[in-house]
Structure 1
Amino acid sequence: MAIEVTSANSTLIQSQVANLLVQPLEQASTFLAAGPVVLDSSSPVRVPRVANGVTAGFVAEGAQISDGDVAFDEVTLLPSTLKGLKVLVKLSNELIRTSVVGLESVLRTRLVTDVAHALDAALWDGAGTSNTIKGILRQTGIATGDLDLADPDSLIDGLALAQGNKVNPTHWVMTSASFAEIRKVKVGTGDRRYVIDPQTIQNGTTFRLLGLPVVITDNIPDEAAAARVALVDMSKVVVARDVDAEVKILDQTWGDYDSIGIRVVSRWDTALLQPEAVTLLTEAGS
């Protein structure tokens, strides 16, 4: 007697598609979460600042006080030529109606996430070419120093450099690979203890290094085979926001195709109120 089994009758098996959509593992957005100053504006923003003050001195009774000369300049954000981040996806109404998942809602969320990731990368390390965002690690006049991932003293030197520029850094910024290299430094070849105590490097879900929070991001990549680590005072970082993440459902434009479009638009800019707010340490290339 032959018994019909499922392995031989796959065409008779009802298929089920789970009503969920698995998202990829990806980099979290970190720049805005670090707490920069955010200004909302739909037009160019000018932030005035004092370029240099005056020098006070001791003056004798009845003597003339010398004149002081204060110089001013400004930081400019959101120039009219700055491009925005934009994305558009078109899909048929049949696909929306027959989809197991709520496809329109899923795509809205997905497109906003993709725009947020592109924005995060640009705010950290954008090249600023062709009227795009120039990230804070590419700004003119930032402080620079040497990095040696095998020697934590280079981090202390970087911290001293920032403090020498009258900066109080609020965050370290580095890739997970750089952070791992720093954590793995041992006391010596015959002593396997870690230089940086593993018990003090993590507080809950937050990593700390030399007393400062560590931002782990892929958006400070190695350059020319040279690792980079940044010290940043986020209180001196300003972000101008024109459009956060505007989502539009275009249900008429492709009506003759019985299709809709989902469009997401975002427009931001960033600048440093003081260039030395960023100290970028770079390792010698291999």
Structure 2
Amino acid sequence: MAIEVTSGNTTLLQSQVANLLVQPLEQMSTFLAAGPQIFDTNQQLRIPRIASGVTAGFVGEGAQISDGDVSFDEVTLLPSTLKSLKVLVRFSNEMARQSVVALEATLRTRLVTDVANALDAALWDGAGTSNTIKGILRASGIATGTLDLADADSLIDGMATAQGNHVTPTHWVMTSASFAALRKLKIAVPDETNGVATYSQYLFDPSGIQNGTAFQLFGLPVIITDNIPAVSTKNRVALVDMSKVAVARDVDAEVKILDQTWGDYDSIGIRVVTRYDVALLQDEAVTLLTEA
């Protein structure tokens, strides 16, 4: 007589679902954490700025001082037509009661994370079409330069461009692939034992690249993000002065539990809404380097 064993009757076995929900691997939001100036408002925000000043000159005793003319313009954020980021998920009360995880709290956290990720992408590189956020990498008037991931001098040239525009950059922004390419740069160093043969040494000292848990290049923190994607297969690296970046915040990830709207379906809804805008207080606050 054959004995029935577990390996042949898996459909009859009891199973248990762990009360743990594994989240997908994803990057963290980086833009707001980099320290832009944030203004809380639910109305259109206008930030005045001086477009051009006057030129001072030497004037002799008793001579007339020439008139100067200061011109002004402004940066506008949160126009009334700007759309919000929104998401909505519905689920039945049965699913909420029978779930092995705290479904409502889990979904609430997940939706806020998804909205934050979408916002992060828009603040960096949003197209700005159809009344959406235009990211700082696409802002008009930003400085540009040429990137060569095989030559660290291109980064120095980018810093020189920013400094020539009287900008003090605070961060590098690049993808993990671009950062890895720069970290792999090596130089040939003569072997002291024979003076002829050479060995390769990393151009960037690994101890100088990472300061604690933060990456650095040429003394500036590096923001690693997928939200500076290549354009036409050409990689990009940005040099940004985050102190010259203004963010207007209308709604910050507002979560609403809709427990009555679909009462006739015995279902619950979770809605997350956020509304932000971004602009540069000075156009040259961003220097965008692109591969030739």
TM-score normalised by L of structure 2: 0.95
Q: Does 1:269 align with 2:283?
A: no
1:2 offset after TM fit, Å? 5.9
Give the SS at the match of 1:141: coil
Could you tell me which of 215, 224, 231 is aligned with 2:232? Answer: 224
Cα distance in 1 for residues equivalent to 2:117 and 2:40: 20
Q: Which residue of 2 aligns with 1:234?
A: 242
Cα distance in 2 for residues equivalent to 1:272 and 1:176: 25
Give the SS at the match of 1:199: helix
Structure 1 counterpart of 2:65, which letter?
I
1:131 offset after TM fit, Å? 0.3
1:3 offset after TM fit, Å? 5.3
Q: Which residue of 1 aligns with 2:193?
A: none
- Coordinate RMSD, CA, aligned: 1.3
Give the SS at the match of 2:207: coil
Q: Which residue of 1 aligns with 2:211?
A: 203
Q: Which residue of 1 aligns with 2:27?
A: 27
1:194 offset after TM fit, Å? 1.1
Cα distance in 1 for residues equivalent to 2:22 and 2:217: 34
Unaligned runs of at least 5 residues, structure 1: none
1:7 offset after TM fit, Å? 1.7
1:32 offset after TM fit, Å? 0.3
> Structure 2 matches for 1:31-180, cutoff 5 A?
31-180=31-180
Cα distance in 1 for residues equivalent to 2:4 and 2:234: 63
Q: Which residue of 2 aligns with 1:246?
A: 254
Structure 2 counterpart of 1:237, which letter?
V
- What do residues 91-112 of structure 1 show as CA deviations (whole Å, max 9, x unaligned)? 1111101100001110000000
- What do residues 60-110 of structure 1 show as CA deviations (whole Å, max 9, x unaligned)? 111111111000000000000000000001111111011000011100000
- What do residues 106-159 of structure 1 show as CA deviations (whole Å, max 9, x unaligned)? 000000000000000000000000000000000000000000000000000000
Cα distance in 2 for residues equivalent to 1:237 and 1:191: 44
Q: Which residue of 1 aligns with 2:185?
A: 185
Cα distance in 2 for residues equivalent to 1:107 and 1:30: 22
Cα distance in 2 for residues equivalent to 1:188 and 1:230: 28
1:196 offset after TM fit, Å? 1.3
Structure 1 counterpart of 2:286, which letter?
V
Q: Which runs of 4+ in 1 moved over 3 A?
A: 1-5, 188-191
Which moves more between the two structures, 210-219 or 6-15? 6-15
Give the SS at the match of 2:155: helix
Give the SS at the match of 2:145: strand
Cα distance in 2 for residues equivalent to 1:100 and 1:162: 54
Q: Which residue of 1 aligns with 2:192?
A: none
